């Protein structure tokens, strides 16, 4: 038996008002890097589109796409919504502009922490800057506004059996019942449709999701602190994590999506190898190089006709 949605929501969410404030302040500190960050993300999404088109054996245009857990900024969803029919499915309410009703719904559905984080990010102006940069990168005067529905993929997707693509980016590491979520994604696809999920590995240096690793304060944490005895207490994850290892992801996809294709991103591997001392490598002996240096892993699978 799986957990009811209201209990699973506690796993997925970010907790702690103090931690939320730290995240908002940290995000503001990084605003100068938004243009470069958008360019990198855009480049990677062009790559992801090509991978999905290989799975579809057809162009990814005019398709019905379901994006799981798009996040408040809808980055990937908006990119694909330029020339596809995109629907987003998220546990969070995603407000558009200044919509008091949406924020009341967010408060009721997701709690005060989610509301404060969203409002804080908007008030500091980063969302406005990022929207401007995405319009520049995409050559648009306005960004698409994909449909958003509140829901849990573990309860099933809307219009099951009709989607050309079911996708997510950095979401599945926050899902407790990964196999159930994958089964629901498979059910959502039409025959010949493509599944494409990107996951940040728990075993990479930033797999702990401590916000300091993303706001220029990574020096405050020892390398791979979350995997080292006596160092774990220094890490404060900003979200719940299922802590699955690479072998666990492969086993889950092999069971639910046999014949999947795996892609790996190893950002900064050369620098990490330079910092890997013999003593540190001994401490991390339970983890192989593939686990430690792979940051993001992507899985693609095409539903048989």
Tell me: pLDDT of 5 over 90. no
pLDDT given for residue 217 in this prediction: 82
For residues 251 and 178, the answer to whether their CB atoms sit within 8 Å is no
Structural domains in the chain plus CATH codes = 5-302 (3.40.50.150)
Instruction: Give the pLDDT score at 12.
Output: 42
Dihedral, 244, 218, 296, 61 alpha carbons, nearest 10: 130
CA distances from 304 to 48, 141, 191, 197, 262 (A): 21, 39, 6, 18, 18
- Cα distance between residue 163 and residue 24, in whole Å: 35
More confident of the two residues 98 and 36: 36
As given in the structure block, the two tokens for residue 145 are: 């506004």
Q: How confident is the model at residue 7 (pLDDT cuts 50, 70, 90)?
A: very low
Question: What strands, in cross-sheet order, belong to the sheet with 85-90?
Answer: 147-150, 85-90, 64-68, 163-169, 189-200, 296-302, 261-265
The dihedrals phi and psi of 149, each to the nearest 5 degrees, come to -125, 145
CA distances from 125 to 34, 39, 57, 95, 158 (A): 11, 19, 41, 16, 34
**CA neighbours within 13 Å on the CB side: how many for 167?**
31
102 vs 199, more confident = 199
pLDDT computed for residue 97 by the predictor: 67
- Are 298 and 262 in contact by the 8 Å Cβ rule? The answer is yes
Provide the pLDDT for residue 120: 67
pLDDT above 90 covers a percentage of the chain that reads 71
Of residues 299, 39, 92, the one with CA closest to residue 195: 299
Q: How far apart are alpha carbons 245 and 204 in whole angstroms?
A: 10
Mean pLDDT throughout 176-197? Answer: 98
Q: Residue 21, SS3?
A: helix
pLDDT at 93 over 90: no
Q: How confident is the model at residue 164, as a pLDDT?
A: 98
Distance, CA of 189 to CA of 43 (rounded, Å)? 26
Strands 64-68 and 261-265: unpaired
Backbone angles phi, psi at 244, to 5 degrees: -70, 145
Q: What is the pLDDT of residues 257-289, one digit of tens each?
A: 999 999 999 999 999 999 999 999 999 999 999
User: pTM for this one?
Assistant: 0.88
């Amino acid at each position: 038996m799986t957990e009811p949605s209201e209990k699973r929501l506690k796993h997925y969410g970010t907790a702690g008002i103090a931690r939320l404030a730290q995240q908002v302040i940290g995000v503001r500190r990084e605003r100068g890097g938004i243009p470069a960050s958008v360019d990198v993300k855009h480049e990677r999404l062009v790559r992801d589109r090509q991978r999905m088109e290989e799975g579809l054996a057809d162009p990814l245009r005019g398709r019905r796409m379901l994006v799981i857990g798009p996040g408040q900024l809808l980055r990937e969803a908006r990119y694909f919504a330029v020339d596809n029919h995109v629907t987003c499915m998220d546990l969070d309410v995603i407000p558009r502009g200044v919509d008091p009703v949406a924020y009341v719904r967010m408060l009721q559905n997701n709690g005060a922490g989610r509301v404060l984080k969203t409002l804080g990010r908007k008030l500091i102006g980063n969302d406005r800057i990022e929207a401007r940069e995405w319009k520049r990168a995409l050559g648009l005067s306005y960004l698409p506004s994909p449909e958003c529905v509140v829901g849990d993929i573990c309860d099933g997707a809307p219009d099951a059996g009709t989607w050309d693509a079911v996708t997510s980016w950095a979401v599945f590491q926050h899902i407790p019942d990964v196999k159930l979520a994958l089964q629901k994604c498979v059910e959502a696809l039409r025959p010949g449709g493509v599944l494409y999920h990107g996951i940040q590995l728990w075993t990479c240096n930033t797999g702990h999701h401590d916000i300091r690793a993303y706001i220029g304060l990574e020096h405050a944490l020892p390398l791979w602190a979350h995997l080292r005895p006596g160092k774990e207490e220094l890490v404060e994850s900003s979200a719940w994590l299922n802590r699955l290892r690479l072998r666990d992801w492969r086993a889950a996809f092999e069971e639910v999506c046999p014949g999947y294709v795996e892609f790996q991103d190893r950002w900064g591997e050369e620098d990490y190898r330079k910092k890997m001392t013999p003593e540190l490598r001994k401490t991390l002996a339970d983890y192989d190089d593939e686990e430690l240096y792979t940051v993001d892993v992507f899985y693609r699978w095409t539903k048989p006709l």
